[in-house]
Amino acid sequence: MPISEQALSNLRQHPLTRGLSEVELNSLQQILEEKEYHKDEIVIKPGQSSASLYLLMKGALSFVKSNAYDPNKLTTFLIRAPNVLGESSFLKPSSPTDEFKANEEGTIIYIIDRQRLENEQKTLSNKILLNLVRMELEGARQPPIIMSEQLQRERYSENRRQSLQSIK
């Protein structure tokens, strides 16, 4: 389903679409899927096989990793828009090992299915792959940041409070 004019305008400014013509942007927007997520809604589930690229357009996502040296120590990471996720799965279909949740209300993600992109727009697919490489080499991607322990405690307390309220 095509995305809105505002979404197309946002897409023009994303690093992944740098150098694409208006015709190519319009072609890309025809195969994008736009999704909006509520805070704490799961965006990507562990084990969910995918060959999709996720363009984080608005908001932020969080995911939790265990420490290689101490599996009981968990660290929460935050990824802010604009950003790209799923590059590895996009290049070689695989299943993610982490769960990604929307960290803010109204988080917006555009999803590009690789199979559909290659079937419908092979030249565009190559340009997207080239831009992915450029983004990585130029450091155009924002790296995930570690959420402070204080922020993690605040999030935990808020989630616990909301859970308790829903029980009442």
For the segment 96-111, the average pLDDT, to the nearest whole number, is: 90
pTM, full prediction: 0.78
Q: Which of 65, 123, 126 is nearest to 91 (CA)?
A: 126
37 or 30, which is more confident?
A: 37
Q: Which of 22, 13, 20, 130 is nearest to 83 (CA)?
A: 13
Per-residue pLDDT band for 102 (boundaries 50, 70, 90) equals: very high
CB 38 within 8 A of CB 105: yes
State phi, psi for 153 to the nearest 5 degrees. Answer: -65, -40
CB 39 within 8 A of CB 155: no
